[in-house]
Amino acid sequence: MPEVVFPLDSTKSFTEQSIVGHNRWHPDIPAAVQVDPGDVFRVHCREWFDGAIRNDDSADDILNAPLASVHVLSGPISVRGAQPGDLLIVDILDVGPIPQEDSGPLAGQGWGYTGVFATNNGGGFLTEQFPDAYKVIWDFRGGVATSRHVPNVSFTGIVHPGLMGTAPSASLLSTWNAREQRLIDTDPNRVPPLALPPLPDSAVLGSLDGAEFDRVAAEAARTAPPRENGGNQDIKNLTKGSRIFYPVFVDGAKLSVGDLHFSQGDGEITFCGAIEMGGFIDLHVDLIKGGMQTYGVSENAIFMPGRTDPQYSEWLAFSGTSVTLDGEQRYLDSHLSYQRACLHAIDYLTKFGYSDIQAYMILGAAPIEGRLSGVVDIPNSCSTVYLPTEIFDFPIRPTKDGPHQINPGQGVPRATA
Ligand code: ZN
């Protein structure tokens, strides 16, 4: 096993650990760990809500999820010799749930969860159709996920970090804050909000304290969106065997990682999210000096995905176009056409006995493929969502006999408040 450079004790909260991580982006959060180019090391990661979500049959914890505290990240990890303009090579050598035989109280100890946020606390991709808070528990066994809340479906995990990235420079951080504030200003009272400005409340900034903590907390960017540094990209294919090339904006690069997922569908459409869990990740790092200029990598990370995806080969696909449910034509709106494709798939699955929220949870957690199939045929973009047919233990394809009926079981817990 590689040396654990960022350890976490499962019995303690994120801020009580021997090395405290962070939940904001800022160049002045001190490096927690130093490694050398060529090093191989292990990092422990808390699940993104630091244990606030429990393995039970209530969604009240999702309803009241502490959004100001996310994402709890492990790092920053300083790589000796890294300078602005370099490319940081990160190899994911292994990644998995918390290694423990018995199931425990933390997501990652044999189980994980998928949630849907209420519209007034987070919202999500289909929040107009699903305005309440919901939660599904998934059990892990032999690398496969099943759920007491969503029967007749099981799939192999494609374990990956939802969030990994380098620290922004001071000027890049101010660019982020300015452009996101301009967007917020177009509709400052929108629910859910258009973007999340810096928020000192619940900020965790590694070893910083005192006046320096207050200054950094007031400027530091939230971790929800992906940006030029990588960040919360939620790319399900960043699994074991992946090599990622991150732009370096500060001395040492200051790599951070967290938000591990046992599995996820393309788009992480449920927002809370994939199958969320804590766990470990083994990394190897190296540098390409001056690589940002050499390879034209300034906009964002590039990567080579791993080859350990589950081998699903048969699919049932659903398409959608950029027309609203009210029949309004929109111009090449791929976000809308992907929503319509997903709603199409949800409608279809309800014909077999699933509730609509059970179907939504399957699309968020299972390894579905989302594609931009057409983006030029004015006025309609065409998006498609591919469901692997083998994840269902009953025939899912249309036949002349009509849909096989499943027993939907106890269903998906909804928040009571
Ligand atoms: Zn996540």
pLDDT at 20: 98
Cα gap 388→385, rounded to integer Å = 10
**Residues with Cβ–ion distance below 5 A, ligand 1:** 162, 259, 273
Ligand 1: distance of its center to the CA of 396 in Å? Answer: 28
pLDDT at 344: 98
Ligand 1: distance of its center to the CA of 93 in Å? Answer: 20
**Residue 239 contacts residue 306 (beta carbons within 8 Å):** yes
Ligand 1: distance of its center to the CA of 379 in Å? Answer: 33
pLDDT at 104: 81
Cα gap 263→114, rounded to integer Å = 10
Residue 99 binned pLDDT confidence (cut-offs 50, 70, 90): confident
Task: Dump pLDDT digits (tens) for 179-235.
Answer: 999 999 999 999 999 999 999 999 999 999 999 999 999 999 999 999 999 999 999
pLDDT at 340: 98
- Residue 128 neighbours by CB under 8 Å, 6+ apart: none
Ligand 1: distance of its center to the CA of 163 in Å? Answer: 8
Cα gap 265→55, rounded to integer Å = 21
Ligand 1: distance of its center to the CA of 281 in Å? Answer: 15
Ligand 1: distance of its center to the CA of 276 in Å? Answer: 5
Output the average pLDDT for the chain.
96
Ligand 1: distance of its center to the CA of 127 in Å? Answer: 17
Q: Is 363 helix (H, G, I), strand (E, B) or coil?
A: helix
Ligand 1: distance of its center to the CA of 415 in Å? Answer: 20
Describe the crossing of helices 334-350 and 356-365 by its angle, rounded to 10 degrees. Answer: 120
Ligand 1: distance of its center to the CA of 270 in Å? Answer: 10
Q: Is 76 helix (H, G, I), strand (E, B) or coil?
A: strand
Ligand 1: distance of its center to the CA of 392 in Å? Answer: 24
pLDDT at 417: 67
pLDDT at 179: 98
Ligand 1: distance of its center to the CA of 260 in Å? Answer: 6
Distance from the first to the final alpha carbon of the chain: 45
Ligand 1: distance of its center to the CA of 399 in Å? Answer: 36
Task: Dump pLDDT digits (tens) for 361-381.
Answer: 999 999 999 999 999 999 999
Ligand 1: distance of its center to the CA of 63 in Å? Answer: 16
Task: Dump pLDDT digits (tens) for 160-174.
Answer: 999 999 999 999 999
Global pTM reads: 0.96
**Residue 391 contacts residue 145 (beta carbons within 8 Å):** no
Ligand 1: distance of its center to the CA of 128 in Å? Answer: 21
Left, alpha or beta for 235 (phi > 0: left; psi -120 to 50: alpha)?
A: beta
Ligand 1: distance of its center to the CA of 107 in Å? Answer: 12
pLDDT at 102: 61
Ligand 1: distance of its center to the CA of 273 in Å? Answer: 5
Q: What's the whole-number mean pLDDT along residues 22-35?
A: 98
Ligand 1: distance of its center to the CA of 330 in Å? Answer: 30
- Cβ-in-10-Å burial (0-12, 13-18, 19+) of 405 comes to exposed
Ligand 1: distance of its center to the CA of 271 in Å? Answer: 7
Cα gap 384→401, rounded to integer Å = 26
Ligand 1: distance of its center to the CA of 253 in Å? Answer: 23
pLDDT at 114: 97
Ligand 1: distance of its center to the CA of 238 in Å? Answer: 13
Cα gap 155→118, rounded to integer Å = 27
Scan for tokens 């994911």, then name that residue. Answer: 92
Ligand 1: distance of its center to the CA of 48 in Å? Answer: 7
Cα gap 197→265, rounded to integer Å = 28
pLDDT at residue 5 tops 80: yes
Ligand 1: distance of its center to the CA of 329 in Å? Answer: 32
Ligand 1: distance of its center to the CA of 104 in Å? Answer: 20
Residue 101 binned pLDDT confidence (cut-offs 50, 70, 90): low
Cα gap 394→409, rounded to integer Å = 15
Ligand 1: distance of its center to the CA of 404 in Å? Answer: 33
**Can you give the residue ranges of every domain in the chain?**
3-304, 315-409
Ligand 1: distance of its center to the CA of 17 in Å? Answer: 21
pLDDT at 255: 98
Name the residue type at position 214: D
Cα gap 309→296, rounded to integer Å = 29
Ligand 1: distance of its center to the CA of 251 in Å? Answer: 28
* Tokens matching residue 244: 């990622």
Ligand 1: distance of its center to the CA of 41 in Å? Answer: 22
Of the chain, the percentage scoring pLDDT greater than 70 comes to 99
Cα gap 352→348, rounded to integer Å = 8
Ligand 1: distance of its center to the CA of 277 in Å? Answer: 8
Is the model more confident about 292 or about 299?
Answer: 292
Cα gap 220→24, rounded to integer Å = 6
pLDDT at residue 29 tops 80: yes
Ligand 1: distance of its center to the CA of 165 in Å? Answer: 14
Q: So what CATH class is 3-304?
A: mainly beta
